[in-house]
Amino acid sequence: MNLVNRIERWGDMHHPKWIDGLRILLGLILIWKGVQFINNIDLLKAQIDEHPFLTVVSFGLAHIVVFAHLVGGLFIALGLLTRVGVIANLPILLGAVFFVNSSTNLFAVHSEMILSLVVLFLLCFFLVEGSGPISVDEYMRRHPEKVPES
């Protein structure tokens, strides 16, 4: 067994359960933001329209943001294809940090910048870490006989 496999095995055996709770919380935050964007889709499109090179695609981009937050957040919360959900949300959070929230004050009373930075950091963390032992992926790995075949 090479070094990488031994490190991965050690990490799997010593995975703290609170990290799975953090992953579930991250997924729920993304779902919550997706629902907020649905309720305020016109404001989201208006904010996208503020950038001149995005005005042509603002309608589609707003719906892509909502879809990525809802479906990616669900995947992350369940631990099902966690890295796919993270990759779907990374460009959105990068855009939120560098384009949308960069013009606002970091320590303002209603600043979304801190939440965006924390979520971006957690997305990067779970891109590396994966889903963990309390997840649908781990359940399917341990019980292959219960997984339906396509």
Question: Helical H runs in 56-112?
Answer: 58-78, 82-95
Structure tokens at 53: 């090179």
In whole angstroms, give the CA distance from residue 49 to residue 130: 35
Q: What is the pTM of this model?
A: 0.79
What's residue 147's pLDDT? 66
- pLDDT digits 0-9 by tens, 81-102: 888 999 999 998 888 787 766 5
- pLDDT digits 0-9 by tens, 23-54: 999 999 999 999 988 888 787 777 777 766 66
Percentage of the chain beyond pLDDT 90 is 25
Burial label, 3 (beta-carbon count in 10 A; 0-12, 13-18, 19+):
exposed
Instruction: Give how far Cα 131 sits from Cα of 52, 98, 105, Å.
Output: 38, 27, 34
- DSSP states of 112-125: SHHHHHHHHHHHHH
What's residue 73's pLDDT? 94
Q: Count CB atoms within 10 A of the CB of residue 122.
A: 21
